[in-house]
Structures are given as structure tokens and as C-alpha cells.
Amino acid sequence: MKYIPFFLALILAFNASAQSDMQHTPKGASYQLFTHNPGEKLKEGEIITFQYIQKTDKDSVLYSTYVSHQPGKAQVHPSQSVTDLMEIFPLLAVNDSVLVKLPTDSIFKGHEEQRPPFFAKRSNLNFTIKILKAQTMDEFMADMKQAEITGANKYITDHKLNLQTTASGLKYVITQPSTKRKPLKGDTAMVNYTGRGLDDKVFDSSIEADAKAAGLQQQGRHYEPLPVTLGAGGIIAGWEEGLLLLNEGSKATFVIPSSLAYGETGYQGIAPFSTLVFNIELVSVKRAKHATAAPAAKTPLKKGVYKKKATAKKN
């Protein structure tokens, strides 16, 4: 028992030393560098990739990119608030590690009702960060595009898809042919669909059984074919092109690169540079009135084959 005060004194001394090693930013964050790697510090405009762990003051883990296998990404820019970590990143080089403490009183200032019970007043949100990579925007974009191509090719191979590829990059296979007419621009296509990412996770469906099997919560959704007016610009380019390739009553699988979907920005939970996979059924087509072009004068060339009649120019 006589040693307990001695150990307590050691612990208190250690904590005091750790606190004294902490430095402070102008906006109120505290930080401690664990490593000082050679090389240039992170620069404004660079895209950085980093691992991080979020913890409470009581060492409870709130989030870890090591567990999610999804490193953080951010573009370095001038700091707007203590919470954006932009005071910290320019202090670091690639492979540096740092502990950052953000005061929760600053995080929840003006909206205290959002403060979780595990963040008491005067507590901190703690980040342990390791910088993995720093890239120019061009380097980052090239990496993302290559990663998308690699992921799409792996998906196609793993699922043994025998696809055709159009000039734009749309990949498709018709899984149920039909001899009915194809739609034209201006027609309204009635489409059943199920959309997936390359992880095979369903993100949307017009088919109730598919939605329920995927656990989608689509409150108030009426499960019925979606009306799509072709050429009106209300759908992604991959659908616009792909539906014109199908006959009424046919089914197909589309593998749509991000350049024909939601591109470099993503949309409503779909990440940037996401190739999308759709199972499509062109249920029916409502025909629009199409102008009939006047027939061109034709001259017989040989049986069953015609060409336009040439018109001589007058001098």
C-alpha cells in the first residue's frame, strides 16, 4: 500500500509532461507531433490521403479508418474554423503522425442541442492522424480514374460478364432479347431497374423484391416502372445511350463508368468516380410523334440496295 502514492505521483507527472508537450494553434486546437519526417510540408491545394482515429477523452474509439479501410481525403486550404484541421495539416510532411485535440465547446458552439452525452463541457474530440500521401490535383485525378478502371475490370471478371463496349465507354450485355422496336429520342421508356455499386450493394431499385432483399428503406416509394423521356436530359448519359440500344421488352445489364454517370463529384451517397451497374428492363415504350422526313430521290444501284441521287451543280 505504501507504494500507491508513489505510482500515483508517477502517473500525474507523466500526464503533466504529456500536456506540456502539447502545442496550440491560434484557433484553439492542441497538438503533439509524434514524428518529424524529412521532406516538404503539406501545401495549399494538395490532395492528402491520411489514416485517422477519433476518440473521446476517455479513450473510447468513435471512428477508425484502419477499421473501415477508407482513408480520409482532403484538399489543403486556409483554415475556416478550428474543426477543419487546416491549421494542423501544413505543419506535417508525408509519413508524419500527430495527436490533435479539438475542444468540443468550439465544435458545438451555437448548437448545443447536438452535443452527444459522451462529450462533456470542456472535453475534447481527439484525432490521431498519419499522413499517407500528398498529390497535386492532376495526380489525384489520374489515380482515381485508374482505380475506377481497375475496380470495374475486376467486377466484370469476377461476375463473368461478356460485355459490348460503345465508343463512349458504356459497357452492356442484353440478357433477354426482343424483336420489338427500339425507342427513339422523344419517346417515353417505361423502365424497371436495380442499381448497384462495384461492391454489389444495391443503392436504388424500382422493383420491390430487389429493394426489400437489399434492405433499402424507401418510404412512400411506389414500385413500378420509371417513365423516362429519352433526349430530355433528365437521366445520366449512360442510361440515355443505353436505352436507345434496347428493344421494347428486352432486358440488359449496363456497366456505366463515372464519366457517363455522376462523374468526379458523386451524388446522394454515390461516391465520386463510381462505376455503376444496372439491371434494366425496357418494359414498354410510349411513342412520341416523330416528324417524317421527305424521302430523298433514289436511283436503283442493284436489287434491294439504293443510294441518294446526285444533283449536278449549275455554274
List residues with catalytic annotation: 193, 203-204, 236, 262, 278
Round to whole Å and give the CA distance between 199 and 192: 21
| Burial (CB count within 10 angstroms: exposed 0-12, middle 13-18, buried 19+), residue 268 | exposed
> Do the Cβ atoms of 206 and 224 come closer than 8 Å?
yes
Nearest to 279 by CA among 312, 253, 246: 253
**270 and 236 in contact (C-beta within 8 Å)?**
no
Strands in the chain per DSSP E: 23-24, 30-33, 47-55, 61-64, 72-75, 97-103, 124-135, 164-165, 171-176, 188-196, 202-205, 226-229, 251-256, 276-286, 298-302, 305-308
Q: Distance between CA atoms of 107 and 23, rounded to whole angstroms?
A: 19
**Element holding 243 (H helix, E strand):** helix 237-243
- Residue 279's contacts (CB-CB under 8 Å, 6 or more residues apart) are 175, 193, 194, 251, 252, 253
Query: Do residues 125 and 140 lie in contact, with contact meaning Cβ atoms separated by under 8 Å?
Result: no
Residue type, 28: G
Other beta carbons less than 10 A from residue 223's beta carbon = 14
